[in-house]
Structure 1
Amino acid sequence: MNIIALQKHYQEKCVLDLQRLTLQSSFAHGLLGANGAGKSTLIKILMGLVYADGKPDVALESVSMLPENPYLPIHLSAYQIVSHACSVQGASQAVESLLEEVCLKPEAWHQPIRTYSKGMKQRTAIAYALAGQPEWLILDEPMSGLDAMGRKHMLDVFMRRKQAGTSILMCSHAVTDLVRLCDQVHIMAQGKMCETMDIKAHNMQEVEDLEQRLIHWSHEHALD
């Protein structure tokens, strides 16, 4: 369990002002908010890419991240990229098992990334992030480029990882995806953590409730 209270200023502007955020291990947490809500800044702090004001030790340990726009060397293949991830992580798991887990077709494994569709690139990036069995998995818009079946499959992959003990923090504008996967969703607006909503039924009513809370808090902070 991680309890975080932090601020981040860029020059005179406060872009993040969190009084309290509890991240429970073996949970799937969602981050929801409009553009500019502070989600990306929070993720960068948790990854140790930037420091919070006066707190250089906030970053999570044993963490792997899938960025919103992952960079994949176009001259390499998925097999080479994921193999590199396993090597860096000291992972004993087979590259083949990771590529199979994300449903990348075997005939594409050794083809250069430049020949891939956007969905295939996203599957490769997810396999890269899964290498090494990280304790924390941070996902920033992980369903980008995936069709409906691909989205369902990846949610199932993340769900199995959670059930195996991996802690997940997923940032997404897709409220339905957050409700299907997450145990809690944290709503942010204007750099503040506004509300944490427990997800219990994982149904459309909770999707509607979460959307209404997001609209409420976005409106409230727009009036500040």
Structure 2
Amino acid sequence: MRTHLSAVALLVLAASAVVPTTAQAAPARITDENLKTIDPGTSCVRGAKRPFVNQTTPRLNAFIPAADESDWSQGNVEFRVKNLADGQVIFTGVSPQRPVGNWVESETKPTLANDTTYSWQARFIDEAGEASPWSRGCELSVDTVRPAIPDLSISPGPYKVGQTITLTFGNAGSTDVTKYGYTIMTSEPTKFVSARAGRAKVTLDSAGPTSIRAWSYDRAGTQSHTMDPVVIIVGS
């Protein structure tokens, strides 16, 4: 009888030893809304909506979402940047270790080339070394070249106080101009008009020499150099 009981006990022990354990799931993929760049600021888009940026060292950021309210885990985010034309990885970086529920940033910044389009991605790596799938690619194009100072023509004089004149802008050969800025009697742009419109109405409100300046802005938001002012004489 004792022998029979010992055999049963051994069978129970053997059965319990082979019960499978549940493997830890890999972290979830980081989604588009949880990816962005700073300096310049862009969101995660791709294709025709990709932004043009005028800086070559963007700061890559990702938000690490918690799985649920009880998730107190932490880890790092790994980043990579590819040249969109050939798919070559030109940069990899990693964030400091942070708890979930926080934005993190790569400790190093990529150096990008002008007139080139890139795709960048991120993935979360938890404390156990488990990595999420790579995010979808976030795209951006680099354009660091200033647009030309715009052409500016003004309605012909003579001029007098209260008169409305028309300013007409031209791109001076810069094909990616998206808007013009202009000002009267100040050194910085105070009003803007789209490149498609290309014209602005201005009312002259004071007599005497009146200076007018204009600037071009390209698709990356880069401002042209400041033009020499055009001076008109306004009569009373």
Coarse TM-score class (shorter-chain normalised): under 0.3
Q: Which has the higher contact order (CA 8 A, sep 6+)?
A: 1
Q: Going by fraction, where is strand more abundant, 1 or 2?
A: 2
**TM-score normalised by length of structure 2:** 0.22
Bigger-Rg structure (1/2)? 2
**TM-score normalised by length of structure 1:** 0.23
